[in-house]
């Protein structure tokens, strides 16, 4: 009499099950922790997204979104933190942010500064009640000048 055994799982089936579990685990971790933290090399530049969101802010006349909303721009060669559409239009024209004719004033003055303390000292008489901004260490720093 021959020993008859039940049919086992093939090697291919076991490999597919293991791969399925790994893919499922990666998806769960990616959606719960966040893709940027899990795999920062996946996220490339976001210049096109910033350009589109600035165009939407302009077309909807959203002064806050165009003049004050801080964004992080990631390009191939640099990352700029806390920049606004207005700043990108006036000081970083290489990214293609168009000027907004429907938003006539942003109460922002761009100055040259090396430190935040130096930025605060730029509240001259002509800048009273405005926000002075300067790019310091790849981050747009802002300081609101008192109106009196």
What are the tens digits of pLDDT across the range 24-73?
998 888 888 877 677 666 667 788 899 999 999 999 999 999 988 988 88
Confidence of residue 115 (pLDDT cuts 50, 70, 90): confident
In a domain, 69, yes or no: yes
In a domain, 114, yes or no: yes
pLDDT value at residue 20: 96
In a domain, 3, yes or no: no
Q: List the one residue out of 49, 46, 54, 62 whose CA is nearest residue 97.
A: 54
Cα 24 to Cα 36: distance, rounded to the nearest angstrom: 18
Tokens linked to 23: 């893919």
Cα 76 to Cα 30: distance, rounded to the nearest angstrom: 23
Using DSSP, state whether 10 is helix, strand or coil.
coil
pLDDT value at residue 4: 61
| Greatest extent of the chain over all pairs of C-alpha atoms, in Å | 105
140 burial (CB, 10 Å; 0-12 / 13-18 / 19+) is buried
Weakest-pLDDT range from 6-20, 38-52, 105-119: 38-52
Where among 85, 103, 121 does a domain terminate? 103
Using DSSP, state whether 60 is helix, strand or coil.
coil
Give me the residue label for tokens 């077309």.
59
Asked if 50 contacts 69 with a C-beta cutoff of 8 angstroms, the reply is: no
User: Which range marks the domain in which residue 112 is found?
Assistant: 107-148
Cα 67 to Cα 54: distance, rounded to the nearest angstrom: 10
Global pTM value: 0.64
Compute the Cα dihedral for 57, 88, 35, 13 and give only its sign. Answer: positive
Report the domain count for the chain. 3
In a domain, 2, yes or no: no
Is the domain of 125 the same as that of 88? no
In a domain, 25, yes or no: yes
């Amino acid at each position: 009499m021959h020993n008859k055994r039940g049919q086992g799982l093939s090697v291919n089936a076991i490999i597919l099950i293991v791969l399925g579990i790994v893919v499922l685990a990666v998806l769960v971790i990616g959606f719960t922790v966040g893709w940027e933290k899990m795999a920062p090399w996946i996220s490339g530049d976001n210049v096109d997204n910033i350009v589109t969101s600035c165009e939407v802010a302009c077309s909807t006349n959203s002064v806050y979104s165009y003049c004050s909303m801080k964004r992080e721009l990631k390009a191939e060669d640099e990352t700029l933190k806390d920049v606004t559409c207005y700043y990108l239009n006036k000081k970083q024209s290489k990214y293609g942010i168009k000027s907004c004719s429907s938003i006539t004033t942003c109460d922002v003055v761009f100055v040259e500064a090396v430190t935040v303390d130096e930025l605060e000292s730029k509240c001259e008489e002509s800048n009273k009640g405005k926000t002075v901004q300067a790019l310091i260490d790849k981050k747009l720093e802002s300081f609101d000048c008192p109106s009196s």
